[in-house]
Every structure is written in C-alpha cells, then in structure tokens.
Amino acid sequence: MSVKVILFGATGMLGRGVLRACLRDDTVESVLAVGRTPLGVSHPKLRESVQSDPSDLAAAGIDPAAYDACFFCLGVSSVGMTEEAYRHVTHDLTLAVARPLAAANPGMTFVYVSGEGTDSTERGRSMWARVKGRTENDLLELPFRAYMFRPGIVQPVRGVPSKARISRMFYAVLGPLVPLVRRVAPNLVITSEAFGRAMIAVARPGTEVPGHILRPADINRLGGAPTRHN
C-alpha cells in the first residue's frame, strides 16, 4: 500500500535524508514539503509549500484527510536560547501542526524527530531534554499514531548536509571517527539514509514497530534495505 506524506523541515540534515528516502521509495506516492525556504529540488512526486509560518496548514493547502503520514523534522539547537524561546520553537510549533492533523485524521501516522537523552519526566536539569520530553508526551496523548525518533550520532551520507553550525563543526572535527564508532558500537550511529527509510517503515501499514519511542537500535533495524536502488 502506498503512502502520501507531509514533510516539515526538509532543508535540515535529517529532513533532507527523509526527503531523499521518500523520493526513492516506490511505496511513497507523494510528498508535500512545508517550510520557510525553497528546497531547490524537482521531482514528480514532490510538491512544495514555502511560507513564513509552517504551522499555518490552511496556507499550505493541506487537507489532513488526504495524507497518511506527517514526518516532522523541524528543529533548532538550544545553544544560546532561553527556555521560553526554545519551547516556543520546539514544543509550541510542533503541537500547532500536530493538533489539527490529529483532530481531522486520527488514522494518520505522525513521526517526530526528538533526541537521544530526551527527558520524559520533564523534570531533569537539561533544558532541551525537558522541552523535548514535554513535546513527546503531548504528542503521545493525541488521537493519532505517534512515534518519537530519538537519534544518537547521525552520519550524513550521499551529500546530505547539516545546516546547523555546531553540527558542521562536529562533523568537520570528529567526522572521520564516526565510521570507527559505527564498527565498534553500531547501534550508537545511524545514517541519514537509514533514518529516512525508518520513518517510511513506521508509516507503512503492517510494519511491526517495537514501541512509540524509537532509539538508534530501533531506527537502524527499521531502516534496513531500501525498497529500490538508484
């Protein structure tokens, strides 16, 4: 069965990996990419909605009932941000998208990019982990099928870049060590390609998913061999 996907945050490293996986996968019928900047990508399956407020579903022309899955890859680094500002961008924007989608289409699959170390108790010392934890918890209470992806170390592959300056610095300095870490501890590292395939897998009817919070080992397992190679 094919799936129709709404993708938020396709200009980021993980979002690019998800977009590439969707465009290559024969089980993905179409992709609507919603974001603030154009992708610079052309494909028969791809439609874009470029708007200043990604949460304005009416401006994007989104009919929630027409889609099977929403892949929410929007996110920012918490470095230098107050908790209030980070919560607004991370929690409030995500729920502004998720709530109307869940209300209109409870059969939809919603996949949220969280992070390894997220604090589900919402009471820990780490500000970003608390905010991510609250976001996860609120999403899991909505009446659709929600999955939280908590990636660890992500290895960008096939030209997928990172927009975040801190991530670019990390990969510039430590990038050569990632393949070694992957060999020694394969479940600590995922590739941007496997990440995208795993998102598609949880949206596909009949996939056996180990739970609603998926960590690197789960993502690697779900993101196995692609449907086709090109």
This prediction's pTM: 0.87
Summarize pLDDT for 127-157 with one digit per residue, the tens.
999 999 999 999 999 999 999 999 988 887 7
In this prediction, residue 41 carries a pLDDT of: 92
Residues 6+ apart with CB under 8 A from 183: none
Q: Burial, 171: exposed, middle or buried (Cβ in 10 Å; 0-12, 13-18, 19+)?
A: middle
- Confidence bin at 163 (pLDDT 50/70/90): low
Radius of gyration of the chain (CA): 17
In this prediction, residue 86 carries a pLDDT of: 96
Q: How far apart are CA 226 and CA 157, in angstroms?
A: 14
In the predicted structure, residue 173 carries a pLDDT above the cut 90: no
The answer to whether 18 and 69 are in contact (CB under 8 A) is no
Distance from chain centroid for Cα 92: 16
Which residue is associated with the tokens 């961008």? Answer: 89
pLDDT higher for 161 or 179?
179
Please give the average per-residue pLDDT across 175-199, as a whole number: 74
Q: What is the mean pLDDT of the chain?
A: 88
